[in-house]
């Protein structure tokens, strides 16, 4: 009988601690399961990374257009004039609008950047789903002492 074991070590949700989730596979199907787990992580990374890169390009375009408009205003207004004419005011408002759009995109991009990787809770639920789909059974659940929040789950598959 061949045996495969998965060790899932994590800090449970709700504790004030540095969140982590480590997964290690041992035994007969270890390489296959590692490959499946890495594919899941890569799919998530690729899904959000393409959106992240697209947003970065749009932010750069908006910033360059805004700076171009601001340079045009600086060049068109003589140094001795303290006010802006109608065309200059229009260009300034367009530049401000472009920079505010870039700021909004930057805020959205921060969230997308964080979503590229699993947080501890998502990692634990995803690995649990993967292990159950492949026939693994939870055989041991423990924590490291009373003072530590680390939980360890051992999942086994016997073939």
Q: Are strands 21-27 and 137-143 parallel, antiparallel or unpaired?
A: unpaired
Q: Is the pTM of this model over 0.85?
A: no
pLDDT at position 16 is 64
- Output the CA torsion 96→102→104→107 (10° steps): -140
- Cα distances from 80 to residues 68, 88, 104, in angstroms, run 22, 15, 35
Name the residue among 58, 60, 84, 80 with its Cα closest to residue 72.
Answer: 84
Structurally, how many domains does the chain consist of? 1
Contacts of 3 (CB under 8 A, 6+ apart): 27, 28, 156, 157, 158, 159
Sequential DSSP letters for 101-139: HHHHHHHHHHHHHHHTS--HHHHHHHHHHHHHHTT-EEE
Whole-angstrom Cα Rg for the chain = 26
pLDDT in tens, the chain (159 residues): 789 999 998 887 666 667 788 899 999 989 999 999 999 999 999 999 999 999 999 999 999 999 999 888 888 877 777 888 888 888 889 999 999 999 999 999 988 888 888 888 888 889 999 999 999 998 988 876 666 778 888 999 887
**Host domain of residue 140:** 3-158
pLDDT at position 11 is 80
Q: Which own/partner pairs from 74-83 qualify as long-range (CB within 8 Å, at least 24 positions apart)?
A: none
């Amino acid at each position: 009988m061949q045996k495969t074991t998965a060790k899932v070590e994590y800090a449970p949700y709700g504790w004030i601690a540095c969140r982590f989730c480590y997964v290690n596979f041992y035994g007969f199907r270890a390489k296959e399961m590692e490959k499946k787990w890495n594919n899941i992580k890569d799919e998530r990374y690729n899904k959000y990374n393409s959106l992240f890169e697209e947003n970065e390009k749009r932010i750069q375009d908006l910033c360059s257009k805004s700076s171009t408009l601001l340079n045009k205003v600086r060049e068109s207004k003589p140094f001795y004039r303290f006010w802006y004419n109608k065309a200059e005011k229009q260009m300034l408002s367009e530049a401000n609008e472009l920079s505010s759009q870039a700021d909004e995109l930057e805020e959205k991009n921060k969230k997308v950047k964080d979503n590229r990787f699993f947080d501890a809770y998502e990692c634990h639920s995803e690995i649990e789903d993967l292990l159950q789909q492949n026939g693994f059974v939870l055989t041991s659940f423990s924590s490291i002492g009373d003072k530590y929040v680390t939980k360890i789950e051992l999942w086994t598959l016997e073939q």
